[in-house]
Structure 1
Amino acid sequence: MAGWVDAVVGGGGLLLLPALLVAVPGMPPAMALGTNKLAAIAGTSTAALTFARRTKIDWAVAGPAAALAVVCAGVGAALAGAVPPSAYRPVVLVVLLVVALFVVLRPRLGVAAAPHRRTRARVVVAVLVAGVGIAAYDGLIGPGTGTFLVLAFTALVGADFLHGSAMAKVVNAGTNAGALAVFAVTGNVWWLLGAAMAVCNIVGAMAGARMALRRGAGFVRVVLLVVVLALVAKLGYDQWLAG
């Protein structure tokens, strides 16, 4: 399921991380994040390849962003144990609420491409936002990264949701690679469990990418809203428990 959701619009970590923590209650957070990255990189790479074979990817944006993402996600992963969840949860919750309102109040956003938005300045901003800001967030925290990437490419360079999702998979593969490398070096990957999850993630990613390609941008928009609202509910519940 996480592979399917992640391939369509991102947010697979919303399912994978809680599943890991429920299955192994004593697992340290860094170990859960590292094991999640092992499964996630298999799914995002599979989805990226599926999209690349069947649709056009804007490599001028996705390529540089993915290269930056490897480094910046690694930096985020190195700092993962230094930032308590209570510090970031309210901020991410507010950002997600803004995203949800933005998508609801602009029903035409992402349904069709808007190539006039793709100026040189916007391309640079999109590369930096995706390859630096969102990538560092992925290494540091994780869930919702793919969703933020889709919104960034849609809002900044005028991609429709389908092509924005394709670009997001390329960058997300980079963020997962950078973070996984750091978690592996620090011994925070449960390799056997992560490998088994990776196989399942690949199956889900193939199914999700093909369904997104078949059903188009309108379908991706609906799934995007569902995932964002689920993230808001999950983080809101966590914040309520913490308070």
Structure 2
Amino acid sequence: MPDIALSTLVLLCLAALVAGWIDAVVGGGGLLLLPALLIGLPNATYPYVTGTNKAVAIVGTTGAAVTYVRKTKVPVWTAVRVGLAALAGSTAGALFTTAVDEEILRPLIIVVLVAVAAFVILKPSFGARPEGEDRAPLTRARVVTAIVLVGGGIGFYDGLFGPGTGTFLVLALTAVLHLDLVTASATAKIVNVCTNAGALAMFAYQGTVYWQLAALMAAFNLAGGMAGARMALSKGSGFVRGVLLVVVLSMVAKLGWDQWS
């Protein structure tokens, strides 16, 4: 583990805690965790920062996924199939990273995110399940669409660019599978576990993970992830929708800053 001041270590652990909470509720925790690691480890190479980030995130994501599965009905088998498709998609996306101009892609993502925020604001019923109404059955057509478009498509985006993947998963799973936002968030966590496992295996093979630092931060990320999952379950889709808007608008602000600063 690199030499880190105690104050920096404390801030990294707090960032891991909050990132775990955000990620469990609606995705997007990496928007906080990765920049925190980049600032806290200024002398580390990017592969070590990214590898350590994955080692931390997978623990919190797994904890959140287990919490959701234990406390609510989650389409686990569907989530695993979407996750495997996302793993394949992210691998393919990574192969094309050198052929894509990030300066062109970022404004497109900002436009998409602004449209998403407007849609969520103007359609408050999106992702809500009326009291006492059962979840719509998962038809074969919707499951196949989720595997191909959500898993393969968003997985490809994750490998190609990455920011906001968890949030896009929640939105897409809500729309394609007709899930409420809480169930979509739970399903997205299982998908995230699959994709994070594949990425972490590669970083571990390459030896680009600070395991001691990751283990310490992962404990806080796990606590945040489990707390976020419990809060989402107790407060329902309206709460998740509010957090979703905050995360989406924060993503727009960050990407805009990166683009025009």
Is the pair's TM-score, using the shorter chain for normalization, greater than 0.5?
yes
Residue number in structure 2 paired with 1:224: 244
Deviations 1:43-93 (A, max 9, x none): 111100000000001234212112223333344456667756434322222
Residue 123 of structure 1: SS of its match in structure 2? helix
Deviations 1:13-33 (A, max 9, x none): 010011011112243333322
Which residue of the other structure, out of 118, 124, 138, is the alignment partner of 1:101? 118
Which residue of the other structure, out of 48, 62, 70, is the alignment partner of 2:79? 62
Residue 91 of structure 1: SS of its match in structure 2? helix
Residue 143 of structure 1: SS of its match in structure 2? coil
Q: 1:115 Cα deviation (Å)?
A: 4.9
Which residue of the other structure, out of 22, 35, 39, is the alignment partner of 1:22? 39
Residue 36 of structure 2: SS of its match in structure 1? helix
Residue number in structure 2 paired with 1:211: 231
Residue 207 of structure 2: SS of its match in structure 1? coil
Q: Aligned partners of 2:78 and 2:214: how far apart in 1? A: 30
Which residue of the other structure, out of 231, 240, 243, is the alignment partner of 2:260? 240
Q: 1:94 Cα deviation (Å)?
A: 1.9
| Structure 2 counterparts to residues 129-208 of structure 1, below 5 A | 129-208=149-228
Report the residue type matching 1:176 in the other structure. Answer: N
Report the residue type matching 2:40 in the other structure. Answer: A
Q: 1:157 Cα deviation (Å)?
A: 1.4
Native 8 Å contact 2:182 2:232 kept in 1: yes
Q: 1:4 Cα deviation (Å)?
A: 0.2
Q: 1:179 Cα deviation (Å)?
A: 1.4
Q: Aligned partners of 2:53 and 2:197: how far apart in 1? A: 12
Q: How many matched pairs?
A: 241
Check if 1:32 corresponds to 2:36: no
Report the residue type matching 1:143 in the other structure. Answer: P
Q: 1:201 Cα deviation (Å)?
A: 0.6
The 3 A distance-change label for structure 1 pair 150 and 174 is: same
Native 8 Å contact 2:56 2:215 kept in 1: yes
Unaligned runs of 5+ in 1: none
Report the residue type matching 1:58 in the other structure. Answer: P
The structure whose Rg is larger is: 2
Unaligned runs of 5+ in 2: 1-17
Q: Aligned partners of 2:43 and 2:95: how far apart in 1? A: 21
Native 8 Å contact 1:111 1:218 kept in 2: yes
Report the residue type matching 1:181 in the other structure. Answer: A
User: Aligned-pair RMSD on alpha carbons?
Assistant: 2.2
Over the matched positions of the two proteins, sequence identity in percent amounts to: 55
Native 8 Å contact 2:41 2:49 kept in 1: no
Q: Aligned partners of 1:142 and 1:81: how far apart in 2? A: 14
Residue number in structure 1 paired with 2:63: 46
Report the residue type matching 1:223 in the other structure. Answer: V
Using the size of structure 2 for normalisation, the TM-score is: 0.84
| Structure 2 counterparts to residues 79-118 of structure 1, below 5 A | 85-112=102-129, 115=135, 118=138
Q: Aligned partners of 1:99 and 1:34: how far apart in 2? A: 30
Q: Aligned partners of 1:199 and 1:129: how far apart in 2? A: 33
